[in-house]
A = this chain, B = another copy of it.
């Protein structure tokens, strides 16, 4: 786990990590949230939706977005992270169980008076598709 303090952090600083979304993670996410929507487990329901091209059930957007918690809390800044807010989270492409995702973030702003940083983040699927992007405002606690 990184332990960057506010003084260590600079504009342009980058971190990234890999994570594979699994069917087990989808099932755990369903249990802890209570989101029992069939789009996230029923392949036939998902594939039959007019105007979309899903090849089966798609993963929860908020399961993918939960990896922003890991980006902030473990990598950038790591230990002294407290997520303040998101200015944006967008979902651009479906994620399927088994997809290997690259989560990356870059420091794009520092507010010295507030001890806050902005991390602009992307999640990409192995083939290069950007599946999500976000702007994360993080309080650095040290």
Contact = CB atoms under 8 A, between A and B. Distances in A.
Interface of A: 1, 17, 19, 24-25, 28-29, 31-40, 49-52, 60-63, 65-70, 73-74, 78-79, 81-91, 141
A48 to B, nearest CB: 10
Query: DSSP majority for the A interface?
Result: mixed
Contact of A66 (B32, B37, B83): B32
Contacts of A67: 33-34
B81 A37 contact: yes
Contact of A88 (B33, B65, B83, B87): B87
B35 A61 contact: no
Given A62-B69, A85-B91, A79 B37 contact: yes
Given A33-B69, A51-B141, 15 more contacts: A1-B37, A17-B34, A34-B67, A34-B74, A36-B74, A60-B73, A62-B66, A62-B69, A62-B83, A85-B88, A85-B89, A86-B86, A86-B88, A87-B88, A88-B88
